[in-house]
Amino acid sequence: MIRVGVLGAAGRMGQEVRRTVASADDLELVAAVDPDHVGEDADGVQITGSVDALSDAGAEVAVDFTRPSAVKANVQWCLEHGVHIVVGTTGMTAEDIDDLRTVAEGAEANCVIAPNFALGAVLLLRFAAEAARFFDAAEVIELHHDGKADAPSGTALATARAIDAARAGDWSAPDAIGADPSSRGADVDGVRVHAVRLPGLVAHEEVLFGGPGQVLTLRHDALDRSALMPGVLLAVRSVATRPGLTVGLDALL
């Protein structure tokens, strides 16, 4: 039985993780942390406001779906206190991850960070890297609910970087000439990325490849947060066997 704590326990993803952990035969929900919801019930566990609750409850693995401003400190605390951690929060910089990798090298606990835990999203990234070998021209559109704080999403950033690493040549469309040049989106390693935030959406990504006389479209739609739970469970069950810091769900598949 793996003892699990959830950081960001009252958020939309945190609630889904709580329910999933509580219903798994080999996992036990022992701690729930969310400073804005202290004292509330979380599937039989009372929500607390401090990450120290993980140690107090004897948590072996923590799952973090919090905020970009909090996640790095949470990961560092877990690594320094011997609690393995699975991270679904996006918004950390490459420098943040490098810092945490250094901390993880000397720690007794391990860390798995994934920009997206949905299997379909992992496959889309793999398919995009394959298509980029044959189509230099590509743009990424990511669409998320209006509560998602970071933009572009971590999944979109990872996809753009995978495309840049795989494609044979450089390509860029003209910059916008008009009232707002930012309408062309962010430039991520030479790939334009566009972020949409609207109520009613969950998590969606579309990659467009263009060539002479043709367009190839790859799209993944997570219609419910339950789409991410098999990947989260895989990471929770695997993190203890992955020394140091692992980035990407594909490393566990």
> What pLDDT sits at residue 72?
96
Distance of CA 210 to the CA centre of its chain: 27
pTM (2 decimals)? 0.85
Look at residue 226 in the predicted model and tell me its pLDDT: 92
Whether residues 145 and 84 share a domain: the answer is no
Q: Supply the pLDDT for residue 171.
A: 85
List the CATH number of the domain containing 27.
3.40.50.720
Look at residue 79 in the predicted model and tell me its pLDDT.
97
* pLDDT score for 172: 79
140 & 192 share domain: yes
CA dist 167 → 50, 129, 193 (Å): 45, 8, 16
Q: Which residues of the chain have pLDDT under 50?
A: none
Same domain? 151 vs 231: no
Q: Residue 173 is part of a domain; what is its CATH number? A: 3.30.360.10
- Per-residue pLDDT, 90: 87
Identify the pLDDT of residue 189.
Answer: 93
Of the listed 37, 72, 144, 204, which one is catalytic? 144
Q: How far apart are CA 26 and CA 93, in angstroms?
A: 34
Contact present, 118 and 143 (Cβ < 8 Å): no
Domain identity same for 196 and 96: no
Report how many domains make up the chain. 2
Whether 144 is catalytic is yes
The per-residue pLDDT for 175 is: 77
6 and 109 both lie in a single domain: yes
pLDDT, residue 176, reads 72
DSSP letters spanning 62-83: EEE---HHHHHHHHHHHHHTT-
Pairing of strands 27-33, 45-48: parallel
Catalytic residue among 37, 72, 84, 148: 148
Task: Say if residue 104 is in the same domain as residue 169.
Answer: no
Question: What distance in Å separates the CA atoms of residue 96 and residue 90, rounded to the nearest whole number?
Answer: 11
Half-sphere exposure of residue 210: CA atoms within 13 angstroms, side-chain side:
8
- 148 is a catalytic site residue: yes
What is the pLDDT, as a whole number, of residue 150?
Answer: 87
Task: Tell me the residue range of the domain where 70 lies.
Answer: 2-113+226-252
Range list of H helices, the chain: 12-23, 53-56, 68-80, 94-105, 119-131, 154-166, 229-238
Burial of 83 (0-12, 13-18, 19+ CB in 10 A): buried
